[in-house]
Amino acid sequence: MTAIETGPTSPLAPGLRVLGVEVADGVRAILREPTALFFSVLFPVMFFALFASLFGNQPSASGLPTAATMLATFGTFGVVSVMLLSPGVAVAEDRTSGWLRVKKVSAAPIGTTIAAKVISALPYALAVVLAISGVSLLVAGPVLDLGTWLRLVGVLLLGGLPFTLLGLAVGFVASSNATAAVLNAVYLPMVVASGLWFPLDMMPGFVQALAPFLPTYHLAQLALAQLTGADALGNLLALLLTTAISAVLAGWAYRNLRV
Amino acid sequence: MIDVLQIAGAHHRYGALTALDSVDMTVRAGECVALLGPNGAGKTTLVGLATGLLAPQSGQVRVCGGDPRRAATRRHLGVVQQSMGFPRTLTVAELVRGAAVRAGRPATAAGPVLAEVGITDLQRRRAGKLSGGQQQRVALAMALVGDPTLLLLDEPTVGLDITSRRAFWRTIAARRDAGAGILLTTHIVEEAAAVADRVVVLHRGHVVAADTPAGLTARLPDRTIVARTGVADSVLRTLPGVLSVTTDGDRVQVATAAPEDVLRRWLVLDEQLTDLRVEGAGLEQALLALTGDATSGDNTTGNNTTGDKVEVRA
Ligand SMILES: Nc1ncnc2c1ncn2[C@@H]1O[C@H](COP(=O)(O)OP(=O)(O)OP(=O)(O)O)[C@@H](O)[C@H]1O
Ligand SMILES: [Mg+2]
């Protein structure tokens, strides 16, 4: 009966230790089975390398070199790929396999496990941004000053949050295969229609009209605004609204979480 | 003695299906209780209530006095679930260390438990790639590493070879003697009977018996005599000491508490008697009698075969 008496000395420390273990497990999962994230990381980097080497030095509509604006658009594409898919699919996999049930009957709150899935995806999102920044440096030279670049990275990583919530909302209720399929089916058209691959002014009129209804468009615009200094309050509000809606969806799905 | 698990009047339904119907039971500290019953009896559902995974639709479940649906209460729990898929990406040592930390213990607690369960040599292997029996031992190590006050083990012996099973029962007995309360389900009835202090029999969501293993078998006639004979059933029934007579093909089964007396008279009546066999009644037979799932319409026991309540001392 000793277990009853030996309580934790600090209520915070055990929670942080569990988070540490869970994040380490999450990072290992991605490192040891990289195929799941392979395309999320490789696609943006390859596309970026191709387009940047073709058009990187030409001036874009905003007057900045195309390589600079592409850092914002492809950065959005890359970060959202990882943050939308990785935590949601990881939770769905653990649910489908029954592993989440092991966490559910443990003394650690299940929220820690889910938070850890999000945190362990962040290094990979950062890796995508670093990779395309490296490529940009190679093919177009330095196009941004360090301060602007850091602001861009910060906006992209924070801007991944509403997409993570959306991915989790699907991952809480659907199987792992269905989660990946549903998210990709929604996401890839959104990427094209938000002008992340090709500039929006190259797109047909109806796509240009549709873009302001897509959260990926607003994140890309907010990222671009870090470079151009344009007013992006509307984009910020749109993203906050998306975050609120995603949070409600994720909360509802969490309450219906079947483990 | 402290009740580390108390279940009172618990009902659980899955939609229209009633899996548990006003179940009462307790597990005390330092006691090993075997929860037995046929497939679909409600054992996993009951374990689900005790782990807090499921909530009873009515009734009460208490673990060390607390609600297992609260994370803090689950600090006292060690659980082996019936179906747990191990992640492909983590090693045995990483899993057991993780379980230690989640239970509020240092990660270094993993080493001794790996040794206790005999899987130290597996610690660098990926758990998802182990054999079924090896995985079952990893699951046990994860349940033990938190030094639980209440161990809930749902079919922990599945897939274990004979040596591992013996080691398993030794581990269980040692933990029980160290003061842990243990509730386990298994279909390896006779092994459970050797270790368990009490047996609770679940059938169609009802507790149909709760007793010591010896108490349960004592309700059955001690012996069943099986033989081929020319003597009519009606004659055999008149022999002193005979409880019941049934025929199974060309054999006759005679239930009795005094097999020697019955046989002495029977052999006088029938010099051609062949294929003689005298069977003892073990817990397995007691269980079959209680749950009415006996093969070949065996009702020699004259005991309760419908699964009604016999006697509940939960
Ligand atoms: N998630 C579920 N949804 C619907 N019905 C369920 C669910 N889980 C179990 N049941 C039903 O509830 C009853 C009790 O199931 P339970 O899993 O508790 O049995 P058990 O005694 O553990 O059986 P076994 O020995 O096969 O493990 C069964 O009839 C089963 O079909
Ligand atoms: Mg079961």
* Interface predicted TM-score (ipTM): 0.82
B7 and B71 part of one domain:
yes
* pLDDT of the residue at A118: 93
pLDDT in tens, B253-295: 888 888 888 888 999 888 888 888 887 777 777 777 778 754 3
Same domain, B211 and B155: yes
Contact B94 A18 (CB under 8 A): no
As for how many domains chain A has, the answer is 1
Kindly report the protein residue whose alpha carbon is nearest to atom 18 of ligand 1.
B42
The answer, yes or no, to whether residue B28 has pLDDT greater than 90, is yes
CB nearest A17 (choices: B29, B99, B101): B101
Q: CA–CA separation, A137 vs A75, rounded Å?
A: 14
Q: What is the domain range of residue B182?
A: 3-76+148-217
Which pLDDT does position A33 carry in this prediction? 84
Out of B52, B86, B104, the one facing A14 most closely (by C-beta) is B104
Residue A53 lies in a domain: yes
Give the pLDDT band of residue B170 (cuts 50, 70, 90). very high
Q: Assign A52 a pLDDT band (cuts: 50, 70, 90).
A: confident
Same domain, B276 and B153: no
pLDDT of A165 over the 80 cut: yes
**B309, pLDDT greater than 60:** no
DSSP letter at B294 equals: -
For residue B216, pLDDT beyond 60: yes
Interface contact flag, A21 B147, Cβ < 8 Å: no
The percent of residues above 70 in pLDDT, for chain B, comes to 91
A5, A22, A96, A105: best to mutate for the B interface, most B CBs within 10 A = A105
Classify burial at A159, counting beta carbons within 10 Å of its beta carbon; exposed 0-12, middle 13-18, buried 19 or more: buried
Q: Mean pLDDT over residues A182-207, rounded? A: 90
Q: State the amino acid at position A58 in one-letter form.
A: Q
When pLDDT is averaged across residues A29-37 and rounded to a whole number, the result is: 81
**Best-predicted range by mean pLDDT among A93-102, A115-124, A236-245?**
A236-245
**Residue type, position A134, single letter:** G
Residue B278 burial (CB count, 10 A): 16
CB B230 within 8 A of CB B272: yes
* B121 domain-assigned: no
Residue with tokens 């699964």: B307
Q: Which residues of B touch A109 (CB under 8 A)?
A: 71
Contacts of A4 in chain B (CB under 8 A): 64, 76, 149
Ligand closest to the CA atom of residue A101:
1
Q: Is residue B255 part of a domain?
A: yes
User: Residue B56 pLDDT > 70, yes or no?
Assistant: yes
CA–CA gap between residue A216 and residue A214 (Å, rounded)? 5
Q: What is the token pair recorded at B268?
A: 């006088």
C-alpha distances out from residue A179 to A98, A99, A101, A137, A182, Å: 16, 17, 19, 35, 5
Confidence label for A154 from pLDDT (cuts 50, 70 and 90):
very high
How far apart, in Å, do the first and last CA atoms of chain A sit?
30
Same domain, B194 and B237: no
The answer on B269 and B159 residing in a single domain is: no
At residue B196, does pLDDT exceed 90? yes
Nearest chain B alpha carbon to A14? B104
State whether residue B199 is helix, strand or coil.
strand
Domain count, chain B: 2
* B98/A107 Cβ within 8 A: no
Q: Residue B62's domain is classified under what CATH number?
A: 3.40.50.300
Residue A4: inside a domain, yes or no?
Answer: no
**Rounded (10°) angle between helices B162-177 and B132-144:** 10
Question: What is the pLDDT, as a whole number, of residue B301?
Answer: 35
Same domain, residue pair B185 and B265: no
Of A96, A98, A105, Cβ closest to residue B74 = A105
Instruction: From B52, B144, B72, B226, select the one nearest A108 (Cα to Cα).
Output: B72
Q: What pLDDT is recorded for position A99?
A: 92
Question: Is residue A8 situated within a structural domain?
Answer: no
- Which atom of ligand 1 is found nearest the CA of B48? 18
Asked if A72 and A220 touch (Cβ cutoff 8 Å), the reply is: yes
Residue B175 and residue B266 in one domain? no
In a domain? residue B113: no
User: Which domain covers residue A182, as residue numbers?
Assistant: 15-255
Mean of pLDDT values over B173-192? 92
Nearest CA to ligand 1 atom 31: B40
- Mutation choice for A interface testing from B67, B69, B75, B96 by most A CBs within 10 A: B75
Query: How far, in Å, CA of A196 to CA of A168, rounded?
Result: 23
pLDDT attached to residue B313? 35
Q: Which two tokens stand for residue A11?
A: 């209520």
Which chain B residues touch A15 with a CB distance below 8 Å? none
State the average pLDDT for chain A.
88
Residue B275 and residue B169 in one domain: no
- Distance in angstroms between the alpha carbons of the first and the last residue of chain B: 14
Please, what is the Cα angle at B89 between B83 and B92, to 5 degrees? 70
Calculate how close chain A gets to B105, using CA atoms only, in Å: 9
Residues B213, B237, single domain; the answer is no
Closest CA of chain A from B89, distance in Å: 5
Highest mean pLDDT among A35-44, B12-21, B83-92: B12-21
Identify the band that residue A249 occupies on the pLDDT scale cut at 50, 70 and 90: very high
In a domain, residue A3? The reply is no
Q: Which of residues 73-132 of B touch A (CB under 8 A)?
A: 74-77, 79, 81, 83-90, 94, 97-99, 101-104, 107
pLDDT level of residue B297 (50, 70, 90 thresholds) = very low
Residue contact A99–B51, C-beta within 8 A:
no
Q: How confident is the prediction for chain B on average, in pLDDT? A: 87
Residue A9 lies in a domain: no
pLDDT over 50 at A134, yes or no: yes
Sequence-distant (6+) residues with CB within 8 A of B72 are A107, B66
Q: Is the pLDDT confidence value at A3 over 60?
A: no
Strand pairing class (B274-280; B223-228)? antiparallel
Residue by residue, DSSP assigns A174-204 as S-HHHHHHHHHHHHHHHHHHTTSSS-GGGS-
Of A81, A114, A246, A110, nearest to A169 by C-alpha is A246
Compute, in angstroms, the gap from residue B19 CA to the centroid of ligand 1.
7
Tell whether B69 is within 8 A of chain A (Cβ): no
Mean pLDDT over B150-176 rounds to 93
Q: B203 and B253 share a domain?
A: no
pLDDT at B283: 77
CATH code for position B227: 3.30.70.100
Interface test with A, best of B96, B102, B108, B152 (most A CBs within 10 A): B102
Kindly state whether residue B162 falls inside one of the protein's structural domains.
Answer: yes
Please compute the mean of the pLDDT values over residues A107-128 and round it to a whole number.
Answer: 91
Average pLDDT over residues A60-88: 90
Which of B39, B44, B46 has most ligand 1 atoms within 8 Å of its beta carbon, as the pocket-test mutant?
Answer: B44
Q: Is the pLDDT of residue B247 over 70?
A: yes
Q: Which residue, by CA, sits nearest to atom 30 of ligand 1? A: B40
Residue B303 has pLDDT above 50, yes or no: no
**C-alpha distance from A57 to closest chain B C-alpha (Å):** 43
- The count of residues in chain A is 259
Pocket probe mutation, ligand 1, options B7, B13, B14, B82, max atoms within 8 Å of Cβ: B14
- Is B278 at the interface with chain A, CB within 8 A? no
- The structure's pTM equals 0.81
Residue A193 has pLDDT above 60, yes or no: yes
B102 with A106: Cβ contact below 8 A: yes
Ligand 1 binding residues, C-beta < 6 A = B 14, 17, 19, 37, 39-45, 82
Boundary-marking domain end, from B193, B217, B241: B217
